[in-house]
Amino acid sequence: MNGFSEAISNGRTGLVLGNSVFLPFHLELLSIWIGKDMSLLASPEFIVDLCEGSADVSLREGASYTNIVFRRYHDLVHEFGSGKGHVVLHATEKGADVFIPQNRHYIRIGFVKHHKEITFEHFKDPFEL
């Protein structure tokens, strides 16, 4: 299985191409938080429409990865790299019971300026960023 807990603890990295991120794991995505400099003054965009045909995001799963396309952005590294903002995934492991609170996790995607690599951080509360 390609779970995010194992991938993150093993230091796996992903890939960003323009407005598309490739995650080296599978997950059950509940919501996405996108925010510029997540502070008390900035309110993050909260995406919960993850269905096919969503105007916000498109999802697809390969054999060993998950691809998320952010339709309203052109260049994620430019928009959120170098500490300008955050993309946070609220998710469970693929096949886990989403109704059990201990199964729900937050994953922050980190963008490296001028690189195609993305990093992942597993944390408890997105308001502590």
pLDDT at 61 over 90: yes
Which of residues 60 and 2 earns the better pLDDT score?
60
pLDDT band at 113 (very low <50, low <70, confident <90, very high): low
Which residue shows structure tokens 């938080």?
Answer: 33
Element (H, E) at 23: strand 20-23
Convert 63-92 to b/e letters by CB count within 10 Å (16 or more is b): eebbbbbbeebeebbebbbeeebbbbbbbb
Per-residue pLDDT, 88: 93
pLDDT at 111 over 80: yes
Of 32-46, 75-89, 100-114, which gets the smallest average pLDDT? 32-46
